[in-house]
């Protein structure tokens, strides 16, 4: 059947990671589906959703790389946020409606630094109503759109560092390095409250997820241009291997005999001491998957990867 009939090609096995610089105005899942179609990939997932208004690093996982999604969800993240002081919105960001205003205190850099310092470390945060968390089977944002507010228990998280990049008038720009589960919109609101005013996140950009480099991100326009010039294969050549997501982990290499058993789901003896999850490779440097070391000198398979197709 000719392409003009509209029949889509059969999806193919595609393995690898793509670090998308998500544009504003699109959901994370919508961005994933667009890239999945461009790659003609059979299986895909993403880690760490970004709000529609937010931009920045969105790791997209295809094929075997979807097996590392769970580990990426636990990764620390870095954001650059521009707060508009003096205005609160119903969503906490620029997509919402202004619901309250307040004067902005004339604080110097030193005063802002002192306030911000109080939010570094282990803190508790109440998730916003406009979030994807569930209450009795319903997303909180669904309830919020109906004008319903429910109790949300505070959650513990860690703010590793906050750097103030700019403070001028009603504009406050921060770089935040934080643990998973942090709502930057809420952090901005809480910092403003401590300063005696209101705020919302006027813009939010995620710079990093875990050990990934910002330099490896691709803009959506670049992705489209690559496919237009070289087809899906050209974009597949730009994908990162799955083990890139686990670059900070320790690694263990095993011989071909042990590799066959490991890939078959069996534990194998190793010389390495210690416990915990590790990257596992064979003696040809082929990534076999995620294993867990035990004090007894055993390496148990936790996520086994088939041979790469890239």
Which domains does the chain show, CATH number per domain? 12-74+212-243 (3.30.2350.10), 77-209 (3.30.2350.10), 249-304 (2.30.130.10)
Task: Express each pLDDT in 71-101 by its tens digit.
Answer: 888 899 999 999 999 999 999 999 899 999 9
Among residues 51, 90, 93, 282, the one annotated as catalytic is: 51
Q: How confident is the model at residue 3 (pLDDT cuts 50, 70, 90)?
A: very low
* Residue 28: both structure tokens together: 């994370």
CA distance 145 to 115: 32
Which of 80, 82, 56, 55 shows the shortest CA–CA distance to 175?
80
* Residue 105: both structure tokens together: 């205190």
Which of 246, 256, 237 shows the shortest CA–CA distance to 302?
246
Q: How confident is the model at residue 147 (pLDDT cuts 50, 70, 90)?
A: confident
Task: Express each pLDDT in 262-287 by its tens digit.
Answer: 999 999 999 887 899 999 999 999 99
Q: Can 237 be counted among the known catalytic residues?
A: no
């Amino acid at each position: 059947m000719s392409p003009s009939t509209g029949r889509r090609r059969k999806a193919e096995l595609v393995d690898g990671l793509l670090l998308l610089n998500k544009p504003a105005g699109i959901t994370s899942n919508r961005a994933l589906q667009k890239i999945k179609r461009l790659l003609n990939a059979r299986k895909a997932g993403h880690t760490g959703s970004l709000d529609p208004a937010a931009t920045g690093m969105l790791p997209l996982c295809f094929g075997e790389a979807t097996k590392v999604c769970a580990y990426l969800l636990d990764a620390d993240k870095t954001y650059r946020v521009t707060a508009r002081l003096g205005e609160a919105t119903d969503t906490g960001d620029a997509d919402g409606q202004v619901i309250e205003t307040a004067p902005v205190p004339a604080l110097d850099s030193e005063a802002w630094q002192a306030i911000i310092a109080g939010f570094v470390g282990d803190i508790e945060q109440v998730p916003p109503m406009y979030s994807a968390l569930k209450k009795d089977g319903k997303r909180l944002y669904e309830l919020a759109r109906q004008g319903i507010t429910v109790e949300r228990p505070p959650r513990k998280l860690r703010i590793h560092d906050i750097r103030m990049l700019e403070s001028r008038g009603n504009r406050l720009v921060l770089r935040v390095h934080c643990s998973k589960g942090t709502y930057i919109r809420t952090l901005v609101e809480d910092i403003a409250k401590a300063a005696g005013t209101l705020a919302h996140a006027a813009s939010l950009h995620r710079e990093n997820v875990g050990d990934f480099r910002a330099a490896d991100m691709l803009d959506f326009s670049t992705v489209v241009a690559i496919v237009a010039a070289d087809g899906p294969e050209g974009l597949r050549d730009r994908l990162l291997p799955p083990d890139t997501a686990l670059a900070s982990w320790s690694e263990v290499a095993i011989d071909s005999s042990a590799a066959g058993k490991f890939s078959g789901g069996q534990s194998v003896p190793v010389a390495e001491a210690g416990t915990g999850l590790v990257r596992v490779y064979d003696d040809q440097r082929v990534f076999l998957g995620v294993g867990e070391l035990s004090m007894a000198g055993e390496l148990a398979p936790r996520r086994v990867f088939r041979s790469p197709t890239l």
